[in-house]
């Protein structure tokens, strides 16, 4: 299995890559912005497992070049993992249009412009799996991070459509609705410790879901219950809450 | 709330994740924290620099058996990579969940210490992050190496490590258990099996009289070519298990173990069963919810039987009993300033945290110090400054180095404050 990982230096992406080797991954292209960080992850994978690892410079906001970047890949991947994302600062996004734009592009626009050419190639071949990191934040907008949440909500809808389109051609799309994970993204938040999970667990969950062909998974699974509760609050009440 | 493996002392602390490619020490006084398996206050401070994300393997040469990794990698992950390719860690402790950095900071020992020495013997070099100076490469023999190995993190953050591994033809151990009734018998057995690679003894000290029995376990790595590492998933403690922990129930547990251990037995067992029996239970320390105190000390060969005799007499006069006791004969000490092992005998005893136990430990300290022995800092949360200085005469070297390199105010743990380092 040949695997392309977008945003490969995030701890969840690293964990997913490691877990995919157990599922038969034999070659990786790790894509991201920082060459030093990419090299670190590439060396780790190559030293741990008997796999081929390449790195490639990729920036989610660089939409003009996404199609040619995909065309330059050494192979059409059997599995794609999308782990690019930017949580950003909600407060800043409310006043700084550039920041809001960056959040929307990293989490949504850039994924669309990258996945379209990839989907086309995989569709033409007639096989493959695409696993994308969505977020439980995209299931209901909250005042504390709705710019990020809305980008993820758009992403979820996009993936639902893509899955629908590619199903007949044997290409599978997995949407992972991820809860709180102990990563640099959440480092500065004071989150309830019992609800923060380890990147390794989430990565293993995503790898398993992709191989099994699950469409939408909550990682960890208990977020299904939490979000069911949060989603069932009537909007007239929800708008009065401080969330 | 943050604490060591023994739950007490606990405190509020700011946890900072050491990012990959870290090259600067935090602004505030801080101490590195790895897997959090030190029992006491070694990895407690106002700011904790966590190495959980520094878990990358950098290179593994499966021809030469050399491995370069980041310090947060656990020994479990390391063995998963190296054993299938025929290499094993020269020093394997009693749990696989410690980090490589922690293994260096405590200069840990294993069941083969009498042959192999401590963990630092496997270190080819290490990259150390020093406050205000960036990363420096440290090699065996240098003062910074002698200070860092066994130095409980007080020289900065170990970022990367190169290790020399040993060839291994199996992930299984040929093991045998030799029952004994008292320490004299145990020492004789241990002498007879001195050439065996791995050896450690379990003692039952849970009864009224000093020792109710025990057994020496010895082992050799098998050579069956089966190098696949498979960990059994660890079992959770049943809810409220700690409610059933008392002197009486733990004596019964020791009765059971003695019944099992008192028979001679042998066989081929997994790496996990031989080295990491307690890892089978997920977070077993929660059996001691009000605090776990382990007293591990070593006393030199020439006075070990007298010293341990006195110590067990003192134990017999107290109301406290250890729930689990482990004995081992150690090999020669190394040159590291605060490294624990020395040629002699070590005994580790687990107690629940109680006022009478703390008093008992103070009396133990006097006996151990008087006979030229020392207490293991990785297990300690309560040793006094005077006792520490008597047990570790090289403390002055570390204190001077910390002073001269400006570490005394920047690399600070509750342990360094307590021991005035």
Note whether A93 contacts B: Cβ–Cβ < 8 A.
Answer: no
Please state the domain extents for chain A: 2-238
Active-site residue list of A: 148
Q: What is the pLDDT of residue A193?
A: 72
Examine the pLDDT at A92 and tell me if it is beyond 80: yes
Look at chain B and report how many structural domains it folds into: 1
CB contact under 8 A, A44 and B56: yes
User: Mind telling me how many Å the CA of B80 is from chain A's nearest CA?
Assistant: 9
Q: For position A6, what pLDDT does the model report?
A: 98
Examine the pLDDT at A26 and tell me if it is beyond 90: yes
Which residues of chain B are modeled with pLDDT < 50? Answer: none
pLDDT tens by residue, A144-198: 999 999 999 999 999 999 999 999 999 999 999 999 988 766 655 666 777 888 8
CA distance B81 to chain A (A): 6
pLDDT at B209: 76
| Residues of A (197-236) whose Cβ lies below 8 Å from B | none
**pLDDT at position B345, please?**
98
Mean pLDDT of A210-225: 96
pLDDT digits (tens, 9 = 90+) for A49-73: 989 999 999 999 999 999 999 999 9
- Report yes or no on B42 lying in a domain: no
Q: Tell me if chain B has a CB within 8 Å of the CB of A189.
A: no
B18 contacts in chain A (CB < 8 Å): none
Please compute the mean of the pLDDT values over residues A86-108 and round it to a whole number: 95
Does residue B23 sit within a domain?
A: no
Kindly state whether residue B21 falls inside one of the protein's structural domains. Answer: no
The answer to whether B53 contacts chain A (CB < 8 Å) is yes
Is residue B236 a part of any domain in this protein?
A: yes
Partner-chain contact A47 B58, CB within 8 Å: yes
**B125 domain-assigned:** no
Distance from CA of B44 to the nearest CA of A (A): 18
SS3 of residue A153 by DSSP: helix
**CB-based contact A187 B17, cutoff 8 Å:** yes
Supply the mean pLDDT for chain A: 95
SS (HEC) of chain B: CEECCCCCCEECCEEEECCCCCCCCCCCCEEEECCCCCCCCCCCCCEEEECCCCCCEEEEECCCCEEEEECCCEHHHHHHHHHHHCEECCCCCCCCCCEHHHHHHCCCCCCCHHHHCCHHHHEEEEEEEECCCEEEEECCCCHHHHHHCCCCCCCCEEEEEEEECEECCCCEEEEEEEEECCHHHHHHHHHHCCCCCEEEEEEECCCCCCCCEEEEEEEEECCCCCCCCCCCCCEECCCCHHHHCCHHHHHHHHHHHHHHHCCCEEEEEEHHHHHCHHHHEECHHHHCCCCEEEEEEEEEHHHHHHHHHHHHHHHHHCCCCCCEEEEEEECCCCCCCCCCCCCEEEEEEEEECCHHHHHHHHHHHHHHHHCCCEECHHHCCCCCHHHHHHHCCCHHHHHHHHHHCCCCCCECCHHHHHCCC
Domain of B378, CATH number, reads 3.30.70.2520
At the fourth CATH level, the homologous superfamily of domain A2-238 is NAD(P)-binding Rossmann-like Domain (3.40.50.720)
Q: Is B57's Cβ below 8 Å from some Cβ in A?
A: yes
Predicted pLDDT at A118: 98
Task: Assess if residue B344 is contained within a domain.
Answer: yes
β-pair type (A128-135, A79-82): parallel
Residue A104 is predicted with a pLDDT of 96
- Domain span at residue B260 reads 172-382
The percent of residues above 70 in pLDDT, for chain A, comes to: 97
Residue B111 included in any domain = no
pLDDT at B231: 93
Residues of A within 8 A of B52 (CB-CB) are 182
- Residue B198 domain flag: yes
Nearest CB among B20, B21, B57 relative to A48 is that of B57
């Amino acid at each position: 299995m040949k695997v392309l990982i977008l945003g490969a230096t995030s701890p969840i992406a690293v964990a997913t890559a490691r877990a995919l080797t157990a599922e038969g991954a034999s070659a990786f292209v790790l894509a991201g912005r920082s060459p030093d960080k990419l090299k670190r992850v590439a060396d780790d994978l190559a030293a741990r497992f008997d796999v081929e690892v390449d790195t490639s410079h990729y920036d989610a906001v660089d939409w003009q070049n996404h199609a040619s970047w995909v065309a330059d890949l050494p192979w059409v991947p059997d599995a794609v993992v999308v782990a690019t994302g930017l949580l950003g600062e909600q407060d800043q996004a409310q006043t700084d249009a550039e920041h809001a734009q960056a959040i929307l592009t990293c989490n949504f626009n850039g994924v669309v412009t990258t996945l379209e050419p990839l989907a086309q190639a995989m569709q033409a071949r007639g096989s493959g799996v695409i696993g994308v990191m969505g977020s439980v934040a995209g299931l209901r907008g909250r005042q504390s991070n709705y710019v990020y949440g809305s980008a993820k909500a758009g992403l979820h809808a996009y993936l639902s459509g893509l899955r629908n389109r590619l199903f007949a051609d044997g290409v599978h799309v997995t949407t992972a609705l991820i809860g709180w994970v102990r990563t640099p993204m959440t480092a500065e938040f004071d989150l309830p410790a019992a609800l923060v999970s380890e990147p390794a667990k989430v990565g293993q969950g995503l790898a398993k879901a992709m191989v099994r062909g699950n469409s939408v998974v909550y990682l960890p699974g208990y977020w299904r219950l939490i979000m069911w509760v949060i989603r069932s609050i009537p909007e007239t009440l929800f708008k009065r809450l401080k969330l | 709330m943050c604490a060591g493996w023994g739950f007490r002392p606990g405190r509020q602390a700011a946890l900072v994740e050491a990012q990959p490619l870290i090259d600067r020490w935090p602004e505030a006084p801080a101490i590195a924290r790895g897997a959090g398996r030190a029992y006491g206050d070694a990895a407690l401070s106002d700011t904790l620099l966590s190495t959980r994300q520094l878990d990358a393997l950098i290179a593994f040469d499966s021809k030469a058996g050399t491995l370069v990794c980041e310090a947060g990698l656990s020994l479990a992950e390391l063995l998963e990579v190296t054993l299938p390719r025929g290499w094993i860690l020269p020093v394997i402790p009693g749990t696989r969940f410690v980090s490589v950095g922690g293994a260096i900071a405590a200069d840990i020992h294993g069941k083969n210490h009498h042959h192999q020495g401590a963990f630092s013997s496997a270190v080819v070099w290490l990259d150390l992050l020093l406050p205000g100076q960036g990363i420096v490469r440290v090699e065996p023999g240098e003062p910074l190496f002698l200070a860092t190995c066994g130095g409980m993190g007080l020289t900065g953050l170990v970022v990367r490590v190169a290790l020399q591994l040993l060839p291994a033809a199996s992930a299984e151990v040929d093991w045998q258990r030799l029952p004994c009734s008292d320490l004299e018998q145990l020492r004789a057995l241990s002498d007879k099996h001195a050439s065996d690679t791995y050896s450690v003894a379990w003692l039952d000290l849970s009864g009224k009289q000093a020792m109710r029995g025990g057994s020496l376990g010895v082992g050799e790595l098998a050579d069956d070519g089966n190098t696949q590492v498979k960990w059994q998933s660890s079992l959770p403690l049943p809810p409220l298990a700690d409610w059933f922990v008392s002197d009486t129930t733990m004596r019964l547990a020791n009765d059971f173990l003695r019944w099992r251990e008192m028979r001679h037995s042998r066989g081929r067992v997994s790496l996990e069963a031989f080295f990491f029996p307690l890892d089978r239970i997920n977070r077993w320390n929660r059996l001691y919810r009000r605090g776990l105190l382990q007293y591990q000390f070593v006393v030199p060969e020439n006075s070990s039987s007298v010293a341990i005799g006195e110590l067990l007499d003192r134990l017999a006069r107290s109301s406290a009993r250890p729930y689990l006791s482990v004995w081992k004969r150690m090999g020669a000490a190394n040159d590291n300033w605060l490294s624990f092992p020395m040629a002699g005998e070590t005994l580790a005893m687990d107690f629940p945290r109680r006022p009478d136990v703390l008093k008992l430990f103070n009396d133990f300290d006097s006996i151990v110090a008087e006979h030229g022995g020392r207490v293991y800092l990785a297990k300690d949360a309560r040793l006094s400054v005077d006792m520490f200085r008597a047990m570790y005469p090289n403390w002055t070297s570390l204190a001077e180095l910390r002073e001269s390199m400006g570490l005394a105010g920047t690399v600070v743990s509750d342990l360094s404050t307590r021991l005035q380092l």
